[in-house]
A and B are shown apart, each in its own frame.
Chain A
């Protein structure tokens, strides 16, 4: 098995110590940071995302894989700045006003991080103004909103409107159990994803467009 394969498998298996050790080893051997990131860490999280989407694994398995991925990230983070690897983008992510569900949102955040994005997680129960403040402060490419209640979904529209002039420079991606593509179209969101793996695909499309 190649070194990158070992890192990838260790991410999938949630073995943080092994990820750290092998990432350090690869760095010492002079492997390009971009390769470690893409072929090791991100590749592992991609597999996790697909398995979760297919109900082959559950929330704990995603959490432990994300933890292992972070152990590798911590090793390469100081090197990324000088390496020519650019972060894919910045995502401000939060659950909308009146809604305290965050399990799905957190998984989406982990998958986005695992795919090379910098995620600013603003937590739960965010009024439109909190999203706006976070956009002003962090200048993201994408705003991600989560809602699990039919009653709080309406705040997504309000938030999009509240972004005002910033709406031209940031893309809006939404999700959560009751949210649909149709709803996303209706409120003028740029993307919808039914699960965390698809959220990464959609984010990639958004930053490319």
Chain B
């Protein structure tokens, strides 16, 4: 089979067609910024610079897609959370936006083209599309999903207590419904400016933090709703990232109908593969510690072990388990890309 473009390869992977080889999309915007010589604050506030840093990095290493990053604060900030900027780290939420749960009524829906830094993220995607458009795959991150964004607005501990106490559950649901809509609005704008897939983080909704019962009642219904609207009504493939453990929720998680799950090394990847085969692709799940400080040989071995689990089926994109640390070793990223080229071929046997 003749060589595909990166874009075709990624599309084939997420739609269970046969790619020529495993596509690679690292989650490395922190690293891209660090290598570019810009500082994190300027890239966070100027989408064009962020995109240029990402393009330079992609061209240097030759992987298949851009994964928008770097921060997980952009919607929360636009909705009123205090946010800290530091030269080397991505912006981070440093406090809640709501003093009490009742304040949910004061929240106003976001406008992605106007509010906070959201226009800069859209600008970053536009720049990526202009410069590497139909060749490289572009993943727009619609920031945090409903549950996690709600937790950021309310403060994680008060929010988990609200749920555990069970006294104002109508307000809890009202808040998550609201934040989920904000997330969906951002996903819609990302599609409008040309992203090929949109993703989100929902780390607070996974078993590193909450149990399967909380997932069932407060996370799953909203992820499922977002998935339905974003995939069917808005018309762009949808991915969900939960870092940390996921084993206890995987069976239900598959029912969200998402196109892709992004998981880290704490997930039992064999179990997830078995449960999601033919339905939801997997993007992941190399240990970020190893990518930061391990050796290229270790990276190659880990990639090959992953290929043993994933191939010969489609539905797989090789990636880090989570955001790669800014000072991860460049030779480890090279090893990852090289491993996919060398050992990730689908051959002519066809996909199962």
Residues of A in contact with B (beta carbons under 8 Å apart) = 14, 55, 57-61, 63-64, 67, 98, 100, 103, 106, 149-151, 178
Contacts and interface: CB of A to CB of B under 8 A. Distances in A.
Contact of A64 (B161, B289, B327): B161
A64 B167 CA distance: 13
A149 B324 CA distance: 11
B157 interface: yes
Contacts of A149: 325
A59 B206 CA distance: 11
Contacts of B86: 98
Nearest to B210: A58
B209 A151 contact: no
Given A58-B207, A103-B209, A151-B327, A178 B289 contact: yes
Nearest to A64: B164
Interface centre among B161, B163, B164, B327 (most CB of A within 10 A): B164
Interface string B192-218: 000000000000000101110010000
Contact of A59 (B94, B160, B326): B160
Contact of B163 (A60, A103, A106, A178): A60
Chain B interface size, as a band, is 20 to 34
B351 interface: no
25 contacts: A14-B164, A55-B207, A57-B211, A58-B210, A58-B214, A59-B209, A59-B210, A60-B161, A60-B163, A60-B164, A60-B210, A60-B211, A63-B157, A63-B161, A63-B164, A64-B161, A98-B86, A98-B89, A106-B157, A149-B325, A150-B288, A150-B325, A151-B292, A151-B325, A151-B326
Interface string B90-105: 0010100000000000
Contacts of B88: 98
A98 B326 CA distance: 13
B161 A67 contact: yes
A185 to B, nearest CB: 18
Given A58-B209, A61-B164, A63-B164, A103 B156 contact: yes
A51 B163 CA distance: 20
Nearest to A65: B164
Given A60-B214, A63-B161, A150 B156 contact: no
A103 B148 CA distance: 14
B293 interface: yes
Chain B CB within 10 Å, residue with most, of A14, A60, A100, A151: A60
Contacts of B211: 57-58, 60-61
